[in-house]
Structure 1
């Protein structure tokens, strides 16, 4: 603990000194020995600083801390964590599932639109050209190479191919508020939809507090909806 405090005063360069110190005290109080041992090392503490500033929802994630601590030089060369993560994600995306398009041979819709491929910063979706970053139940797919495409018509966004996730999202100023599996072409199952939060987090998106809406057919073929809140 003493070494961690010394490292903080010697190496601190966070966006806000007081907020950085507050985060550090909170994280040390609620996390275990493995976390403390990692941030007690110079590289581990620098990694924690990077995440505290640029991806606070991931700052206690041991896998991300280890990854960042081993790539500090590459992060600096790339121009920061967000730019480096985009490059790293593209070459190291870990596929979780493939959801097949249920109507792959159907013609592409004439009103299909790609508003953009989302860029993520500090857990938030950045503004997307003229569309901003506040969306209310807008269509999305996450491709099998880790691109979050936002727009209209899942068949068009997914190019009729398999995807990791598909449905609609609600965001307010880039903060994820709701994920739904509402998609006629992909109609993700309950099990597939339950993996959506993990997939969004792998993109670097803060999912905590967002609702997960799951549409499914019961044994009688009736459409039902189940909603729960994501706790991490």
Structure 2
């Protein structure tokens, strides 16, 4: 699967590279443009950490992706500009798996407060609940992109109008975006309806394409998770299964 990385070369600029078998891309861009890019990892030259501007930027980006210095990777910005895809993939896989494992450990350490927090949101604000769950899943799967389809409640707008159960989805690559569901959501949930028989169930995983489908339930409500991932380990599955088991408890 393709991957995209960036390397900060100065206080104001970064190098952006897309590593692909079909069409590689290389650009020098302004630092603030990173928010508009699809990036799975970020690097920086060590001396730039002395800059308060760069340090704050790195701290903000650390919520979304793995970050490493040139001394950790043995590769400065000039070398990053010229490194071939095979070597870069090896470096990327190491830093990505390490970052995901650290996220798994952190979630385990904070599991009960996380479950309590999400359970408090569940009854009154499904959108916020699933936006927060989206972040947890993305960081603990190391997903390139992630989509969650779920049941939501549409409140009646008129005095005698009843509330309706509708399909909704949250999807995104870096940030979660909520959408009202429609024919696609109805169809795909119907396709997997026999799989919603446990709290967490990996239904499909194509390692070559990096396509992952998980059927889950939260308080007997079906949740479908579709992600593009670089790997799925047993530890990741165990941590997330424990999370969903906790979310399903009354």
Q: Which TM-score tier does this pair reach, normalised by the shorter chain?
A: under 0.3
Task: Identify, as 1 or 2, the structure richer in strand.
Answer: 2
TM-score for the superposition, normalised by structure 1 = 0.28
TM-score for the superposition, normalised by structure 2 = 0.26
